[in-house]
A = this chain, B = another copy of it.
């Protein structure tokens, strides 16, 4: 018997700790006692050549775990590809090499590419604890990663996963920094750009804290969980796709860092650049347009912040061989009328179908972005916007969008929720502003994004006049309970739509 190692049968705990590997062992387990394991001990577990470092939770009184087995959280179980009764080999986990690198960064040292690779490697091998990751994220806040460090981190993240190759000089992409509710331009932009004959293999994320991500919205119209082979087939056939990026292993460390970055919510220009550009580079993109909404409740809050972030994005793009342009836009209010997966899909389809009631702001934003992306690809003196308009107005974009959906597995018309509650203006006046945060919260309480048709439908926008008793917005829900829930919240504080003086 080798010291420090020992084996015990594994079972699935069936507990989702959100990607944190946790092992549950009974307080009377011989391995706990012999090894001196106690709660939060970092325990190394290996099985058939795979290994993971898990935090220990000691079972003090629960009947579901006996002392002769160890239970693993979903993250640990899946990472080890374990089956019930597999014999796991346990050891005290020595701190991984990158903890000393993180320590150096915490104390102010500049890191190089090899050092970032060591951190990213340990992130992906699940060797770092949440506390280690929080310390790393904290050490990178604001401008504490300089440009060279940002480039090194971007490269380390990109190279840690799969890289797609398209065999073309022009592979277009877009990304929006810090979403506004309803800002669902991507399906329209992809349809226009693909209809113009360009390659745009777009991958998007699902919502993490917002009422809908592009992947959630697309999913009400077509399958989005494509494997790489399917994605490639769609793009070969139609020039573009609208896939969920979650299963493609592009810059996989990003997702593991985001689970720490989101709750801490520290802004780090360096980590934002590395997150966005490592994914774009891994996706094989050559020309990337960044949509940067600027406004008091947007991610980027001032012109100065936008300039600094733009300069950093540009420098990193040059270093890793991407053509990049930043498009600044108004970030003061939600875009379109619908907020929630299906409600946003209706807005997107209305724009593509040139419906008379299509939301003009969403249409104009999508045309601005498609035009800027065409200009970036061709550099032909700003004719992109008018070309984008022609493609949309002619119906070519609509045709392309439906063809992409067909290639992904078929198009479905989005549905409408069965329960609605209309919120009326209690005074007359002009809509002064919309509280993005409150509107998003109402949509989430109504069930978005899990309930596809749930959300908020805006009847009024900033600048609109409203009379007392006129509808301001509707809450949509799939159950009456959720409708009540969202409406109670909506009525519990100031209105999400602020009404100013009668004009």
| Residues of A in contact with B (beta carbons under 8 Å apart) | 1-4, 12-18, 24, 27, 30, 33-36, 38-40, 42, 57-64, 73-74, 103, 106-107, 129-132, 134-135, 137-139, 141-142, 259-260, 263-264, 266, 444-445, 447, 450, 481-482, 484-492
Contacts and interface: CB of A to CB of B under 8 A. Distances in A.
Contacts of A130: 130-131, 134
B3 A445 contact: yes
Contacts of A488: 1-4
A59 B58 CA distance: 17
Contacts of A18: 38-40, 57
A180 B295 CA distance: 56
A12 B263 contact: no
A105 to B, nearest CB: 10
Contacts of A103: 266
Contact of A263 (B1, B40, B266): B40
B266 A106 contact: yes
Nearest to A442: B3
A12 B61 contact: yes
Given A3-B492, A57-B17, A142-B107, A264 B39 contact: no
Contacts of A259: 40
Given A2-B488, A16-B60, 5 more contacts: A15-B58, A16-B27, A40-B263, A106-B141, A134-B138
Can you tell how many copies of this chain the complex includes?
A: 2
A63 B64 contact: yes
A15 to B, nearest CB: 5
A31 to B, nearest CB: 10
B39 A16 contact: yes
A361 B131 CA distance: 39
Contacts of A490: 3
A132 B447 CA distance: 28
A445 B64 contact: no
A281 B74 CA distance: 46
Nearest to A449: B36
A429 B139 CA distance: 47
6 contacts: A3-B485, A14-B59, A18-B40, A40-B259, A57-B73, A107-B142
A146 B444 CA distance: 43
A324 to B, nearest CB: 27
B13 A62 contact: yes
B16 A58 contact: yes
Which 4 pairs across A and B sit closest by C-beta, in order of nearness? A14-B61, A3-B488, A14-B62, A3-B489
B60 A74 contact: yes
B59 A15 contact: yes
A103 B444 CA distance: 26
Contacts of A266: 103, 106, 135
B142 A447 contact: no
